[in-house]
Amino acid sequence: MNSEHETKRRGMTAEDLLRLRSVRDPHYAPDGTRVVFVEKSIDEEKQYRSHLSMWTEDGSVRPWTFGRWRDTKPRFSPTGEEIAFLSDRSGRAQLWRLPAHGGEARQLTFFKNGVRDYVWAPDGTFLIALTTIGDDETIADREEPEKKEAKPADPKPRVVERLYYKSDAAGFLDDKRPVLVRIDAATGKAEALTSREEEIGSFAMSPNGRTLAFVANRNEDPDTVFTRDIVLLDLESKAETNVTNGCGTFTSLAWSPDGTKLAAIGHDLAYLGATLHRLYVFEPERGTARVLTADWDVHLGDAMIGDMHADAKGPGPIWANDASGLYVTASERGRVNVFFIPLDGPVVPIIEGDFHVYGLAVHPNEQQAVAAISEPTVIGDLYAISFENGAKTRLTTVNEALENEVALADAEPFTYQSTDGSDIQGWIMKPPGLGEGEKAPLIVEIHGGPHAMYGLTFFHEFQLLVSHGYAVLFTNPRGSHGYGQAFVNAVRGDYGGMDYEDIMAGVDAAIRQFDFIDETRLGVTGGSYGGFMTNWIVGHTNRFKAAVTQRSISNWLSFSGVSDIGYFFTKWEVGCDMWEDAERLWHHSPLKYVKQMNTPLLILHSERDYRCPIEQAEQLFIALKQLGRETKFVRFPDANHDLSRTGNPMLRLERLRHIVEWFDRYLTKSLP
C-alpha cells in the first residue's frame, strides 16, 4: 500500500457506500453449465435493488432481470428450463417464474401477505411456499395494490396477550400465522398444507416428492420454550411425524439423494444462546440420529459480522451425490471456510483460506464449486474453486472500478495474551500512505452479539476510518465464535469482566507491537453488545479521548422488559431475572457507573430498534447531560437494530458522517 501507484489512490468515503455491490446466493443449473446469482446494489434514488445475473461456462456474465425492485432467491427448476425467484415487483415478495434461456417473468403467487421462502418439488410439477394468513384470511385472499387513504383510519388500540409480541425485524406482530402451501407449477393453484398457530422455519422436499420436512416450534408455550422440532408431513395422507420431540433446535434441512437421511444444523441448547451449531443426520425410518460434529469444536455456519454481506444467507448443508457426507461452511478464527463432513471419517477442508465464504454452490459433478468470497481488501465476488487443487478463478468483478480507485487497508492478524493468560485474536488496519515514523490515532471496534465474530471480510466502515487517518483495531474477545465452545460461553454471567480485560489487553498489545499507533489518541466504538461494552469501557477507564456507542445496552433492569428478546436474553446472558437478583443486573449495567464517565460520548440509536430499544440510549444521555458531561444524542427515524447493515442508505450515510466527525473533533482536532 506504500507504492507510488497505491499512494495516488484516494481514500474510501462514506458516499462510496452507494457504489458497493454485493453478489450472493449462487445456484447451479442441473447440468452445471450455468450459475444464476443475485447482485444487490443501491440505485440513483438511494434505494436497495437486487437483480438476477447469469454466469455461463464460456465465462460470460449477463444481467437476467432488470427494474426498480428486489429479485432474490433464484433456483433452477429440476429440468433446468425455468428459474423460480422471489420478487417484490407486484408490491410484496411473491413467487415468479422465468424461462432459463431468457424471456418474460410470470407471477405464480398472489398471496395477500406475500411469500417468505419456497422450494421446488423434485419433479418440477409443484413448489412449496411459505406465506402467512390472519384469523380472518385464507390463502385465496389476493394481494391488493397499495391505496392512498382519503383520510386517516380511525385509531385502534393494540391488544397484547402474548409475552413475545414484537420483533426487531418485523415490528409489532400482527397475529398472522405461517402456512406452508403447495402450488401447482403450471396453474398456480394453491393448497394449504399446515394450519397450526406455530412458527415455521426451514423446510425441504424428499427426493421422491412425497414427504415435506419442516421445522416448527410445537411447544405449548413457544414464547418461553425454544426447542424447534423437525416434522415430517406425508403429502398424500397429511399424516405428521415429529422426528425430534423437543431434543433441540434445528434449521437448514437437507434430504440425502436417496431420501433415507435428513440432515440439519442444530444444537441442544446446552449453553442456551451460546451453544455451537452442530451437524445432525436423522434416519426417520430407522428412528436414529447422529451428531456428526460432536467432537469438532467449531461453529457451523456463518458467524461473521460486517456491514456489506450481513443479509446474505449462506447455504445450509449440501449432500454429496453418493450420500457419503455433506459440505458445510464453518466459522473458525476469523474465517468462514468450506468443509466436507463424511458420515464416517475426519473433517476435510475443501475451500480454505483467509477469507469469508458467504455463499456457496457445489457443481453437480462435485469437482468444483462457485463461492461468494470477501476479504478485507476484496469487497466480494464469485469464484470458481477446484476441489482437486484449490485453484481459485474469479468469475465476477462487480466492484472492480471502485477497488482500483480506492486505497484499501489490509487487516494484519496478531495474537496476544489477556490478563489471565488466554490467547485472544485481533487484527490491526494501518492507514494507507502513513509515512515512516508517523503516528496514527487508534479506534477500537467492538462487535455485537456477543456470540458472533470479527474477521477477514470487507468492512466499509473500517475502510472509511483508515481513510481518515485512523488505525483500526478489532478483536474477538471471549464470547466470540470461532474459538470453541468454552470460549464462546465464557462471557455468560461475566459481562464487563474478562471480556473487558480481553479488549483492553488488546489495546496494550497493539501499542507494543505496532509503533505507528499514537497511544495518546485512542477512540472506541461498537454496536449492540459492542455498544454495551463501549459504555462499560468509558465507565471504567478515562484512557479513551472519544467514544461512540451505537444501539447499545445501558441498563439491564429495563432492557429485560422492553427488548423483544430481553425477557429471556437477560437471564441467558447475565444470569438472572430482575426479581431474582436486581442488584446483579444493576452491577452489570453501564448506567450504574455513569458518574465515572468522563470520555466525550456520541450516542447513536434507531427509533424503531426493538432489540435494544431507544430508551436505553435516552437513559444514558439524560444522565450524562445532568452530570454536565460532553455528549450528543443522534436518533435515526424509521430505522431498526440493523441500521448499519441494511438500513436506509441515506441514514447509513448520516451515521457514518457522525462517527467520523466525532472522532475527528476529539482525536485530530480538525473541527472546531
Question: What is the set of active-site residues?
Answer: 528, 641
Whole-number Cα distances in Å, 417 to 177, 487, 505: 50, 14, 7
Please provide residue 28's backbone torsions phi and psi, each rounded to the nearest 5 degrees. Answer: -75, 145
3-state DSSP assignment of residue 488? helix
Residue 314 CA to residue 329 CA, distance in Å, equals 8
Instruction: Note whether 94 and 101 are within 8 A (CB).
Output: no
Cα atoms in the Cβ-side hemisphere of radius 13 Å centred on 414 = 20
Which candidate, 38, 102, 36, places its Cα nearest to that of 75? 36
Closest CA to 269 of 205, 210, 224: 224
Count how many residues are written for the chain.
672
Pick from 569, 386, 426, 574: which is nearest to 509 by CA? 426
Q: 499: burial class by Cβ within 10 Å (0-12, 13-18, 19+)?
A: buried
**Closest among 531, 524, 538, 525 to 624, alpha carbons compared:** 538
Angle at the Cα of 145 (from 144 to 148), degrees rounded to 5? 120
Long-range contacts, stretch 410-416, CB < 8 angstroms, 24+ apart? 410/1, 410/376, 410/377, 411/376, 411/456, 411/462, 411/474, 413/334, 414/509, 414/510, 414/513, 416/505, 416/506, 416/509, 416/510, 416/513
CA angle at residue 341 from 337 to 347, to 5 degrees?
Answer: 75
Burial class (CB in 10 A: 0-12, 13-18, 19+), 461: buried
| Cell numbers at 160, concatenated | 397484547
DSSP 18: G
Q: Which of 280, 254, 287, 247 shows the shortest CA–CA distance to 265?
A: 280
Q: Are 437 and 427 in contact (CB under 8 A)?
A: no
Name the H helices within 542-640.
556-562, 566-573, 578-587, 615-626
Residues 418, 480: Cα–Cα separation, whole Å: 14
DSSP string, 384-443: EEETTT--EEE---TTHHHHHHB-PPP-EEEEEE-TTS-EEEEEEEPPTTPPTT--EEEE
Asked if residues 37 and 53 have their Cβ atoms less than 8 Å apart, the reply is: yes
Nearest to 543 by CA among 491, 596, 484, 621: 596
CA atoms lying within 13 Å on the CB side of residue 145: 4
Q: How far apart are the first and last CA of the chain?
A: 32
